[in-house]
Amino acid sequence: MLSAARERASDLPAVPISSGGGAALRFAAAMLDARNVVEIGTGCGISGVWLMRGMRDDGVLTSVDLETEHQRLAKKAFTEAGFASQRVRLIPGAALEVLPRLTGGHYDMVFCDGDKQEYPQYLEEAMRLLRTGGVVAFDNSLWHDRVADPSVRDADTTAIRETLRLVTEHESLLEILLPVGDGLLLAQKR
């Protein structure tokens, strides 16, 4: 079912989440009995489909992306997967401009797969948006095995490394880094 969306994604600069990462997102959403989820980086809709597969039947995915073309392709993937249009709220715009306008403490899960250099700020926003017990997830947390190599110091790698440090040191987060796809960091707000 996602093969057509993956094919459409091949023309985009945004790489979709791996099947293993998607399955982990579905599992986390199901474990949370998630009703409200925020996705940063709509892509072509593959991660959104995985999330909605794990969410409650009345759950709503709020997906934020700067690129309206990504959201158009995602809408097609959601329709092909059989999800009703009222289950998805697509918001075009820069994540750091949109997220502050969302209701604090209202979300069960926040999935981050946008601008890697903004990951530390996404964490800060996620802590405000999540209810107690909610989960924040970061895709690409291994970043092509660059994060573990201290000699790699480009801006994306440095920001992801900083996010991992912030999550690990945060007193109210319980974290796990899953070695699926390009790394999936999950942290529960306690």
Report pLDDT digits (tens) over 50-80. Answer: 999 999 999 999 999 999 999 999 999 999 9
pTM of the full structure: 0.95
**Pairing label, strands 173-178, 88-92:** unpaired
Any idea what the CATH number is for the domain that residue 114 is in? 3.40.50.150
At residue 9, the pLDDT reads 63
At residue 2, the pLDDT reads 77
Identity of residue 126: A
Each residue's pLDDT tens digit, 91-150? 999 999 999 999 999 999 999 999 999 999 999 999 999 999 999 999 999 999 999 999
Closest CA to 123 of 157, 164, 154: 164
Please give the Cα distance from 93 to 164 (Å, whole number): 25
Closest CA to 122 of 136, 109, 134: 136
Reported as a pLDDT band with limits 50, 70 and 90, residue 6 is low
At residue 5, the pLDDT reads 67
Please give the Cα distance from 53 to 36 (Å, whole number): 13
User: How many domains is the chain built from?
Assistant: 1
Closest CA to 41 of 18, 12, 70: 70
Residue 8, both tokens? 């459409």
Check pLDDT > 90 for residue 4. Answer: no
Q: Which domain holds residue 185?
A: 3-189
Closest CA to 13 of 63, 69, 61, 52: 69
Each residue's pLDDT tens digit, 148-189? 999 999 999 999 999 999 999 999 999 999 999 999 999 999
Residue 138, both tokens? 């970061």
Identity of residue 43: G
